[in-house]
Chain A
Amino acid sequence: MAQTDRGSWLERLSNRIFAIPSVAQWWARWRAGRMPAVIDPATGIPFARLAKPLAQCRAALITTGGVHRVDQRPFDMENPDGDATYREIPGDVALAELTITHKYYDHRDADQDINVIFPLEHFRDLAAQGVIGQVAPRHFGFMGHIDGELIQVLTRRTAPEVAQKLRQDEVDFALLTPA
C-alpha cells in the first residue's frame, strides 16, 4: 500500500505514547470531560433495529482512520481542527489502491494490513460465505481528530450526507471503525 504523510518526529513520538492503552483511556476520559453534552435527554441515543436476517443484509464500512483511494485528494494535515470531509471508497476497490492520510495516530500496522482498520476483505469473504447478504457499492473514509468549528460541519453536513448516501444504496447496517 502507498505511504503518505506521517507527520513530524514529534507527532510520531506523541502517536506512540498515545498508542499505549492506559494513556489512550486517560486521554478519552479527559476529552469526554470537556466535551459539550451530545446526548439530548429528550430524544436519547438514536437507535434502529436490523430489519432482516443478517444473511440478507447489505453492509457498509465507515472508518475515521483516514482511509482513501490513492487517486483521491488526501485529508488536510495542515488545519489543526482536522478535516470533516469524507472520501467514497467503491465496494470493488483493489486493496492495493487504498492508502491512509492521518498523522494523528500510528498507522504502520494498518499500512501493512489495511484489515486492521478497514476490514473490506473480510466483509467480501463473509458475503461469499453467506454470513451477510452483500457488501455495499460504496464505503466511506473520514479522518477522525475533528475539533472546533469542524465538528459542526461534520454533524450538520458531511455525516448526514453520508447517511443519505447509505439510504440511497439501501444499506442495512454499517460497521464503524475508529483510529
Chain B
Amino acid sequence: MGLIARAIESVGIPTVAISLARDLTEAVGVPRAVFVRWPLGHPLGEPHAPAQQRTMIFEALKLLVHGRQPGQIVEPGFRWRRERYNEPNWDALQNPETLDTP
C-alpha cells in the first residue's frame, strides 16, 4: 500500500494512509499515515460502527490538512473495542488553526 501512496504522491497528489503495521509503513516511507494497533483487515474499525469509522477518517484528514513532514506517522492510540467514539467536529478541519497539531 505504501508503494502506491508514494507513486500517487510523486505525481503531486497528496495522500494519507491508514496503517495497521507500523514498522512496514515506516520502512516503505509512506508520505503520511495514521497508525492504529488494530486487527488486520479493520483500518476503519468495527463493522456498523459509523462513529468509530468516521473518527478514523477525521484523524486521516486532520493529518492531511496539518502534516508538514514527509513520512509522519501519527498514533491516536485508540484501543480495540475499548473506546467510545462521538461524531467528529468536522468544522475544525476547515479552520486548521483550531486543531491540535498531530
How many residues on chain A are close to B (CB under 8 Å)? 66
Write out, one digit per residue, whether chain B residues 16-50 have a CB within 8 A of any chain A CB (1) or not (0). 11111111111111110000011111111111101
For residue A80, CB closer than 8 A to chain B, the reply is no
Q: Would you list which residues of chain A between 24 and 81 have a CB under 8 Å from chain B?
A: 24-25, 27-29, 31-32, 35, 38-39, 44-50, 53-55, 62, 64-65
How many residues on chain B are close to A (CB under 8 Å)? 57
For residue B76, CB closer than 8 A to chain A, the reply is no
Residue of A at shortest CB range from B95? Answer: A53
Residue of B at shortest CB range from A125? Answer: B54
Q: Please determine whether A25 and B8 come into contact, CB atoms closer than 8 angstroms.
A: no
Q: A residues within 8 A CB of B48?
A: 112-113
For residue B12, CB closer than 8 A to chain A, the reply is yes
Q: Residues of B at under 8 Å CB distance from A? A: 1-31, 37-48, 50, 53-54, 57, 60-61, 64-65, 70-71, 80, 90, 93-94
Q: Residues of A at under 8 Å CB distance from B? A: 15, 18-21, 24-25, 27-29, 31-32, 35, 38-39, 44-50, 53-55, 62, 64-65, 105-107, 109-110, 112-113, 115-117, 119, 122-123, 126, 129, 131-132, 142, 144, 151, 154-155, 159-160, 162-164, 166-167, 171-179
Name 17 A/B residue pairs within 8 A (Cβ), A-sorted. A19-B40, A25-B23, A31-B23, A38-B27, A105-B41, A109-B41, A110-B41, A115-B50, A116-B53, A142-B4, A159-B8, A160-B10, A163-B8, A167-B11, A173-B15, A174-B16, A177-B1
